[in-house]
Amino acid sequence: MKKLHFKLILTSKFYFFFQRIGLMLLVFASRFIGFAPNFSLVGSYGFFGGNLILFIAQILIFDLLRGGLYRGFVFTYLGFLAYGILGKFCQKNKYRLLMLPLASFLFFLISNFGVWLYWYDHNLKGLLNCYLLALPFYKNTLLSDVFFGSLFLGLKQLGLKKNILKNKFVSFLQYFGQWRCFFK
């Protein structure tokens, strides 16, 4: 029987890709845990995660698995997109964590506008009632975004320190040869 030889070359892109997928799967799985309503990793992941496609994909897959799409879902998705866009906009900003509450507020405004359009009377009283009843959910969104956003930033700082070691390890491997996996 022939031996199949596969070369496994450790590169930053390979590591980075699986790191992104792993983080997306962690955020996706966390939505099944059942924190308080609107207390989740999703907003912070959209703000700090850096990949809008993976961000929206995990939300869409979750919604499809948990009962499908609903009236007004487009506004909720636009609200989630605000996290990603604002996160990209202030990516290099040292005050990034201070911008996360703004993303939470934009999500609150946009998503609840859709709720008002589809489930409330289309007058000022209906609009105010919609936003007032949504305030407890906004509180949970804001608290979770600040909590998980701080966690994301802390892990990123830790990752930057470990990244220096990883790059030295990859350089060592490239200097002394390549990793090879042999499968029979």
* pTM listed for this prediction: 0.78
CA distance 2 to 143: 58
Cβ-based neighbours of 121, under 8 Å, separated by 6 or more: none
Region of 34 on the Ramachandran plot (φ > 0 left; ψ -120 to 50 alpha; else beta): left
pLDDT 10s digits, 46-56: 999 878 998 99
Residue 155 DSSP one-character state: H
Q: Is 70 exceeded by the pLDDT of residue 1?
A: no
pLDDT 10s digits, 73-116: 999 999 999 999 999 998 887 788 889 999 999 999 999 999 99
Angle CA(177)–CA(162)–CA(57) in degrees, nearest 5? Answer: 95
